[in-house]
């Protein structure tokens, strides 16, 4: 195991213990804010085949006054049928770079109590490499609105700005929009999906649903659809959410 692989392995294991990143649907921010002095942990694995998948970890800590902050360890490719199980890329001629270790900061404004919220946030951080000269900064800025259309459902939509270190492609800076939804079928089952525009690595659609195992734990399963970027690989998404509080008692009725 290389030094880079060993570092990623340590981060993968210990990140939830020391970290403090916004909550996501599958791939876009959910529009929720973690309550003050509480944590939220999300782990997502994209399965492209039985031997090839990608890991993403997010840990969030509530700062109060509608702020939260966090750490993301994302875009970790794993190949079980390869001699190098965890791969890395710090070659600037083959962007996007990966894995990435990104800090997050998010602020929410309540536009209409219990119904309409505006969130503005950023994710920023370097790729993982032991060669300092090959470190580059990935960035993702966004502004989204979360709208409680009905008591059981929310729509999420907004805009993003990112760079090629994070998403790849030909242009250094990229702008686009994001859309998502979540719908509560009953106290245990939910539907959820999201979409990211563009023609880069993150330009995907995920449709799926989830189950509330308890008031602090959720499991989601989604279909990874190659739209709008048909050059990407399709697959399946498995996501777990672990809350440091009972989300059924959240002031906004948050369940993701």
| Whole-angstrom distance, CA of residue 18 vs CA of residue 28 | 24
pLDDT, mean over the chain? 89
Which two three-digit tokens encode residue 49?
A: 């085949």
DSSP state of 187: S
**Beta-bridge mates of residue 158:** 144, 178
Per-residue pLDDT band for 213 (boundaries 50, 70, 90) equals: very high
The mean pLDDT of 171-187, rounded to a whole number, is: 92
Instruction: Kindly tell me if the per-residue pLDDT of 161 is higher than 80.
Output: yes
The mean pLDDT of 192-202, rounded to a whole number, is: 96
The confidence score (pLDDT) of residue 9 equals 45
pLDDT per position as a tens digit, 29-80: 999 999 999 999 999 999 999 999 999 999 999 999 999 999 999 999 999 9
pLDDT per position as a tens digit, 217-232: 999 999 999 999 999 9
pTM of the model: 0.88
Instruction: Kindly tell me if the per-residue pLDDT of 237 is higher than 70.
Output: yes
The confidence score (pLDDT) of residue 22 equals 55
Percent of the chain with pLDDT over 70: 89
Give the residue among 203, 195, 236, 232 at the shortest CA–CA distance from 53: 236
Give the residue among 138, 101, 102 at the shortest CA–CA distance from 10: 101
Residues 6+ positions from 244 with CB-CB distance below 8 Å: 34, 38, 39, 40, 216
The mean pLDDT of 156-169, rounded to a whole number, is: 96
- Reduce the DSSP state of residue 157 to 3 states and report it: strand
Q: Please report which residue ranges of the chain form alpha helices under DSSP H.
A: 3-18, 164-167
Q: How many CB atoms lie within 10 A of CB 88?
A: 21
Per-residue pLDDT band for 24 (boundaries 50, 70, 90) equals: confident
The mean pLDDT of 177-186, rounded to a whole number, is: 96
| Whole-angstrom distance, CA of residue 39 vs CA of residue 161 | 26
Per-residue pLDDT band for 3 (boundaries 50, 70, 90) equals: very low
């Amino acid at each position: 195991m290389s030094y880079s692989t060993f570092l990623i392995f340590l981060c993968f294991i210990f990140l939830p213990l020391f970290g403090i990143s916004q909550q996501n649907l599958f791939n876009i921010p959910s529009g929720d804010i973690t309550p003050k002095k509480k944590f939220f942990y999300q782990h997502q694995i994209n399965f492209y085949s039985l031997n090839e998948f990608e890991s993403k970890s997010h840990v969030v800590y509530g700062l109060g006054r509608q702020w939260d902050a966090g750490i993301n360890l994302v875009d970790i490719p794993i190949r079980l049928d390869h001699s190098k199980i965890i791969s890395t890329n710090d070659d600037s001629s083959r962007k996007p770079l990966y894995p990435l270790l990104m800090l997050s900061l998010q602020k929410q404004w309540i536009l209409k109590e219990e119904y309409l919220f505006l969130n503005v946030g950023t994710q920023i951080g370097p790729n993982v490499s032991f060669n300092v000269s090959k470190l580059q900064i990935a960035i993702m800025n966004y502004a989204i609105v979360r709208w409680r259309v009905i008591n059981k459902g929310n729509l999420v939509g907004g805009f993003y700005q990112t760079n090629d270190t994070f998403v790849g492609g030909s242009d250094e800076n990229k702008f686009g929009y994001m859309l998502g939804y979540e719908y509560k079928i009953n106290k245990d089952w939910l539907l959820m999906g999201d979409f990211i525009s563009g023609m880069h690595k993150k330009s995907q659609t995920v449709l799926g649903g989830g189950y509330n195992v308890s008031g602090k734990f959720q499991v989601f399963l989604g279909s990874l659809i190659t739209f709008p970027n048909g050059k990407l690989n399709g697959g399946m998404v498995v996501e777990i959410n672990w809350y440091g509080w009972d989300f059924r008692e959240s002031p906004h009725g948050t369940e993701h």
